[in-house]
Structure 1
Amino acid sequence: MLIHLHVKNLALIEEAEVDFGPGLNILTGETGAGKSILLGSMQLILGSKMSKEMIREKSSHALVELLFQIENPQVERKLAEMDISVEDGQVLLSRKIMEGRSVNKINGQTCTVSQMKEAAGLLLDIHGQHEHQSLLYPQRQLEILDAYGKEQIEPSKRKVQEAYQEYCHIRKELASMDMDESQRNRELSLLEFQLEEIEKAQLVPGEDEELEQRYRKMNNSRKIVEALQTVYLCTGYEETGCVGELLGKALQEISQVSSYDEELSQMEKSLLDIDGLLNDFNRELSSYLDSLVFEEEEFYQTEQRLDFINSLKAKYGKTLEKITSFEEEQRKKLEKLRKYQENIQELREKLEKSQNKLEKVSHDLSAIRKQYGQKLSEEIRNSLKDLNFLEVDFAIDFRRGKTYSANGFDEIEYEISTNPGEPRKPFGKVVSGGELSRIMLAIKTILADRDEIDTLIFDEIDTGISGRTAQKVSEKMAIIGRRHQVLCITHLPQIAAMADRHFEIRKLADQSETTTQIYALDKEASVRELARMLGGAQITGRVIENAREMKELARQQKNTRLK
């Protein structure tokens, strides 16, 4: 049950707080007072989007908080499955809206919009002004039936969805293999050519890197030889002024004096080490220079092999590993094509089995839907009689669609006759807007009872009705209020008179700003508000007495006939 609403900086609402109670909570007010804003604040908790223009002028954010008292063990269990703990029997949902983003919290813990929406969906259900129009669409009608019988329909639908996915996958695979003889021969020729080219290459892992290194060495060999010959001469012993010659002279000189001082002896040893290292370097350099001698033919072959491997990379993969993977994939494709007829036949058999399975589970789903369709039709008929459809005939027409879908093969349409002797017809051909809103009220009530949703919110459910019908709707709302908490925005005094708690939404304006406030009405204030709804601009004493009598009659009805 929704026990507290807090709204801040949302459109005309600067800040408003209201405590709701059990039973029928009625919200009334002049047109344009801000009733739709209040409802919109609750819809934000259900995940609806909001434009930045809805944030109150000169405010950085808007805030909506809903506090629920959880009294249903089933709801508490489902919340626990979502890792939402019920603290002292309560759950707080809040959404802070800023420009371009929002911060959502459940019991103070940050959550996503989808998590907020899922949790709120267990706690309240909102019927907007134009939602009843969706009843004209067969797809929405099917969704309602599936929601009504979800205990058995949902598991059956999952089986259909799995079977349909398998069926579509096989059919897609079969379609991808569908080709004529000439196309298949072209594909075979291409695959055979590609595989033969890769096989003849006899690629060796790491070969490309080794070839590139060798090619760079060969291609730059002249430059390398010239540079290294200069290095050899500079570090050798044969040329005047080279390092080796100078090092030899240095050794000769230091050896003549090293015996005089231990420190000089150590320096001589270091110089001998340097001379040894230089000798080693020269030998390695000489050996490397000898290895740079190669034949022109060897360079040509290396270049050709490298070009060939690079051409394979351009066609089949950027690395040798990718070329190998491509080869394996093409080999599998070739094997499939060579066994084309076998594979086609095998897939056709698999598709037939898959279709038979899909047919069976779709048939099972349809049978369950028809069972629940009869029950739902009976409940809707009974509920509509309570809403002043005196001679109503309602049924759900089932037809088999031309194709399968993830929903099975059922196509349904709600049909109704509101006059004796007239045949049932689809909603769009026979019902008015007011009748549609009453039908949706009946359906919402039935679904809420099955889903165990505690709080139902109706926004102007009275659209297009008046007189005796309005009275019947008010009685129905009072009956629903016995089993659920109901919040109802209305313009009809017949419905407002049935309120267990009555709230007025009022727009206040001065020279600087306009704000919307919500006020809880006591008995006398409720009578005055009813008088306003009855009398319009001029509220006379007689109108006041009429309102008081309407309120008293509603009280008597609730305590006797509607109890």
Structure 2
Amino acid sequence: MLYSLHVKNLALIKEQEIEFSKGLNILTGETGAGKSVILGSVNLALGAKADGSLIRTGEEYALVELVFGVENELQKKLLLDMDIPVEEDGNVVIQRKIMQGRSISKVCGETVTTRQLKDIASVLINIHGQNDHQELLHKKKHMEILDDYCLDKLKPLFEKLSTEYSKLKELEKSLESTNIDEAARLREQELLEFETGEISDAEIVVGEDEKLETKYHKMVNSRKISEAACVVSSMTGSGDGDENASDMIGRAVRELSSVVSYDKDLEDLLSQLSDVENLLTDFNHALSGYLDDLEFDDEDFRTTEERLNTLNHLKDKYGGTLEKVLEYYNEKMSRLETLSDLDANRNKMIADIAAQKEKVLSLCKKISDIRKKQALVLQESLKDALIDLNFIDVKLEIRITSDEDKISARGYDDAQFMISTNPGESLRAMDQIASGGELSRIMLALKTVVADKDDISTLIFDEIDAGISGKTAWKVSKKLGELSKEHQIICITHLPQIAAMADTHFMIEKGLEDGRTVTNIYRLKEDDGTKELARLLGGDEVTAASLQNAREMRQLAEETKRGK
């Protein structure tokens, strides 16, 4: 559940913290008081687009922080699978700092991307905005709703279909590439033969270019190397007289040997000095051998240079590395084989495509069968939920049509919700009959049905009551109350019927602070909650009658929650 929301320097909010509770959390306030900023701040913390205009005037940054408590083991597993840290107490702290031109998001102190934030949000919370129900007017959304409802059964099939469908598209692409005339085929074949021959003649060995580069670099700089090595040789062991290191250390060994019998402590020093002498002798032998090997003839140099030029030419032309050159060679050899016997290869491709399409169609049918079966379950559950929301004589049907000529990575089905909300009316598409208030209730019914299947514990509704009133509003209130028994609900509303059902009631209002407009949010005690209900019932002026009405409405809500 969402424990708290902390907002600082965002729009009209200077600094506010809201501590939410379990059950139904209701937020009310005058139009323009800043209710939308509350939902907007949650969305910002979870990755919504942000810019500097949201920062409160005169401030350098805005800050939004959400604290979630993760109690569900599946949620914990999903977060850990995303490499998202969960604190020892089960809390997940999401923080987003918005500055001019950029923003920084962190989860439990670790920086995350916007994509990660949205993935986290999909696990922890479900948000329904004011206009989300309008999506029900689009058929594409209907399929998404159905697939989400039965995703546990469809997911493994979707993964298989995605793989097999990709193979099918690749085969079709390969077949398409063979649709060329004879002259074009001959031209392409001639070019391929030249390119593959050029690569084949080079007899490439991976890693050869690096060895040749090293050898060539040594050859080019051999004079400098030789001069330096000779100087070192003369200094360490081959110089005239006794000024080289080898002779001087030899003398030192002899001098120390002549007195070691007088003091045993000199034995270790003599041993160390002898080791130095031996090491220097070995070094001089190795250096002499290196100087002998440094000599090479002009033919060796020319051969190395030509081979290196050949390899670099192939890399420049075919891929940048010898590995890429060989990949190019294999790809072109495969294409050359196809062109060499085009008719036979086309026939094989056509057969392969037919076989692959059968695999894809088989998976599509399995997906379609699950959808059709689950659609019957979903439509019955939705009908029951809609009846609870004051659709007296509702008829609902989820129609699924299949078309083998319209295959995609999600199958070959099309889904559409058909509905009749009045007796005697035939089933019609939602965009033809549903009003705004009806769409809001249909969306709430969907959220209610789907909430029983997923593990998301927190649901936010921004004015789910749009376009409804009276008895229907009370039905919606009861449905939210039922939903809040198993989920944390945060609901922004303007209807007293819904506000009366609150387990926790927050007031949002504008005020003045230091001559500037600010939005304040605070939790209402029971008496203050009753006064806010009275305001919602009767307008700005709270009368004794509206207060009495508010008390009766609150009492009725309490009885409803107790199941009376």
Which interval holds the TM-score relative to the shorter structure?
Answer: 0.7 to 0.9
Please say if 1:395 is aligned against 2:400.
Answer: no
Counterpart pick for 2:560 among 552, 557, 562: 557
Give the Å deviation of 1:315. 11
Evaluate the alpha carbon distance shift between residue 532 and residue 85 of structure 1 in structure 2; reply closer, same or farther with a 3 A threshold.
same
Cα distance in 2 for partners of 1:194, 1:91 equals 58
Cα distance in 2 for partners of 1:327, 1:145 equals 48
Cα distance in 1 for partners of 2:350, 2:106 equals 53
1:67-125 CA-partner distances (Å, limit 9, x unpaired): 22233233233333334334223222221222222222222233222223222322211
SS at match of 1:408: coil
TM-score in terms of structure 2 length: 0.76
Please say if 1:418 is aligned against 2:411.
Answer: no
Give the Å deviation of 1:184. 2.1
Give the Å deviation of 1:324. 9.0
Evaluate the alpha carbon distance shift between residue 332 and residue 443 of structure 1 in structure 2; reply closer, same or farther with a 3 A threshold.
closer
Which amino acid is 2:7 matched to? V
Please say if 1:503 is aligned against 2:500.
Answer: no
Counterpart pick for 2:341 among 336, 339, 342: 339
Evaluate the alpha carbon distance shift between residue 526 and residue 156 of structure 1 in structure 2; reply closer, same or farther with a 3 A threshold.
same
Quote the residue 1:272 is aligned against. Answer: none
Question: Number of aligned pairs?
Answer: 472
Evaluate the alpha carbon distance shift between residue 339 and residue 530 of structure 1 in structure 2; reply closer, same or farther with a 3 A threshold.
same
Quote the residue 1:161 is aligned against. Answer: 162
TM-score in terms of structure 1 length: 0.76
Cα distance in 2 for partners of 1:442, 1:185 equals 65
Evaluate the alpha carbon distance shift between residue 514 and residue 165 of structure 1 in structure 2; reply closer, same or farther with a 3 A threshold.
same
Evaluate the alpha carbon distance shift between residue 81 and residue 543 of structure 1 in structure 2; reply closer, same or farther with a 3 A threshold.
same
Quote the residue 2:171 is aligned against. Answer: 170
Cα distance in 2 for partners of 1:71, 1:326 equals 53
Which amino acid is 1:392 matched to? V
Residues 317 and 326, structure 1, Cα contact 8 Å, conserved in 2: yes
Give the Å deviation of 1:198. 9.1
Quote the residue 1:18 is aligned against. Answer: 18
1:337-376 CA-partner distances (Å, limit 9, x unpaired): 1111121111111101110000000000110111111111
Cα distance in 2 for partners of 1:21, 1:201 equals 74
Evaluate the alpha carbon distance shift between residue 327 and residue 94 of structure 1 in structure 2; reply closer, same or farther with a 3 A threshold.
closer
Quote the residue 1:374 is aligned against. Answer: 376
Counterpart pick for 1:455 among 458, 469, 478: 458
Give the Å deviation of 1:157. 1.1
Which amino acid is 1:495 matched to? I
Residues 70 and 86, structure 1, Cα contact 8 Å, conserved in 2: no
Which amino acid is 1:408 matched to? G
SS at match of 1:7: strand
Cα distance in 1 for partners of 2:498, 2:433 equals 26
Cα distance in 2 for partners of 1:457, 1:197 equals 66
Which runs of 5 or more residues in structure 2 are unaligned? 217-239, 242-297, 299-305
Between structure 1 and structure 2, the one with the greater Rg is 1
Residues 92 and 107, structure 2, Cα contact 8 Å, conserved in 1: yes
Quote the residue 2:81 is aligned against. Answer: 81
Cα distance in 2 for partners of 1:148, 1:314 equals 53
Give the Å deviation of 1:336. 2.3
Evaluate the alpha carbon distance shift between residue 335 and residue 559 of structure 1 in structure 2; reply closer, same or farther with a 3 A threshold.
closer
Cα distance in 2 for partners of 1:417, 1:358 equals 36
Cα distance in 2 for partners of 1:316, 1:2 equals 58
Quote the residue 1:431 is aligned against. Answer: 434
Which amino acid is 2:503 matched to? D
Segment drifting more, 456-465 vs 137-146: 137-146
Cα distance in 2 for partners of 1:473, 1:327 equals 68
Quote the residue 1:355 is aligned against. Answer: 357
Residues 5 and 17, structure 2, Cα contact 8 Å, conserved in 1: yes
Which amino acid is 1:504 matched to? M
Cα distance in 2 for partners of 1:199, 1:479 equals 74
Evaluate the alpha carbon distance shift between residue 48 and residue 313 of structure 1 in structure 2; reply closer, same or farther with a 3 A threshold.
closer
Which amino acid is 1:90 matched to? N
Which amino acid is 1:70 matched to? V
Quote the residue 1:61 is aligned against. Answer: 61
Give the Å deviation of 1:328. 6.8
Residues 45 and 94, structure 1, Cα contact 8 Å, conserved in 2: yes
Cα distance in 2 for partners of 1:327, 1:5 equals 59
Evaluate the alpha carbon distance shift between residue 196 and residue 527 of structure 1 in structure 2; reply closer, same or farther with a 3 A threshold.
closer
Structure-to-structure mapping, 1:94-133, within 5 angstroms:
94-133=95-134
Cα distance in 2 for partners of 1:399, 1:391 equals 26
Evaluate the alpha carbon distance shift between residue 536 and residue 315 of structure 1 in structure 2; reply closer, same or farther with a 3 A threshold.
closer
Cα distance in 1 for partners of 2:528, 2:367 equals 54
Residues 146 and 369, structure 1, Cα contact 8 Å, conserved in 2: yes
Q: CA RMSD in A?
A: 3.4
Structure-to-structure mapping, 1:94-493, within 5 angstroms:
94-191=95-192, 332-401=334-403, 402-493=405-496
Segment drifting more, 121-130 vs 104-113: 104-113
Cα distance in 2 for partners of 1:328, 1:81 equals 38
SS at match of 1:471: helix
Give the Å deviation of 1:454. 1.0
Segment drifting more, 30-39 vs 132-141: 132-141
SS at match of 2:96: strand
Structure-to-structure mapping, 1:3-14, within 5 angstroms:
3-14=3-14
Which amino acid is 1:515 matched to? V
Evaluate the alpha carbon distance shift between residue 333 and residue 105 of structure 1 in structure 2; reply closer, same or farther with a 3 A threshold.
closer
SS at match of 1:508: strand
Residues 319 and 328, structure 2, Cα contact 8 Å, conserved in 1: no
Quote the residue 2:271 is aligned against. Answer: none
1:26-46 CA-partner distances (Å, limit 9, x unpaired): 100000101100111111232
Evaluate the alpha carbon distance shift between residue 517 and residue 197 of structure 1 in structure 2; reply closer, same or farther with a 3 A threshold.
closer
Give the Å deviation of 1:511. 6.5
Residues 497 and 551, structure 1, Cα contact 8 Å, conserved in 2: yes
Residues 459 and 488, structure 1, Cα contact 8 Å, conserved in 2: yes
Cα distance in 1 for partners of 2:454, 2:326 equals 58
Evaluate the alpha carbon distance shift between residue 100 and residue 448 of structure 1 in structure 2; reply closer, same or farther with a 3 A threshold.
farther
Cα distance in 1 for partners of 2:107, 2:327 equals 50
Cα distance in 1 for partners of 2:14, 2:353 equals 63
SS at match of 1:450: coil
Residues 45 and 120, structure 1, Cα contact 8 Å, conserved in 2: no
1:505-560 CA-partner distances (Å, limit 9, x unpaired): 01112572111111111111011111111111332222222222211222222223
1:294-320 CA-partner distances (Å, limit 9, x unpaired): xxxxxxxxxxx9xxx99x989966999
Residues 315 and 321, structure 2, Cα contact 8 Å, conserved in 1: no
SS at match of 2:453: helix
1:393-441 CA-partner distances (Å, limit 9, x unpaired): 1111111234110111001101111112222111101101111111111
Cα distance in 2 for partners of 1:352, 1:6 equals 59
Evaluate the alpha carbon distance shift between residue 420 and residue 198 of structure 1 in structure 2; reply closer, same or farther with a 3 A threshold.
closer
Cα distance in 2 for partners of 1:397, 1:316 equals 56
Residues 51 and 98, structure 2, Cα contact 8 Å, conserved in 1: no
Residues 142 and 417, structure 2, Cα contact 8 Å, conserved in 1: yes
1:429-459 CA-partner distances (Å, limit 9, x unpaired): 1101111111111111222221121111100
Which runs of 5 or more residues in structure 1 are unaligned? 214-264, 267-291, 293-304
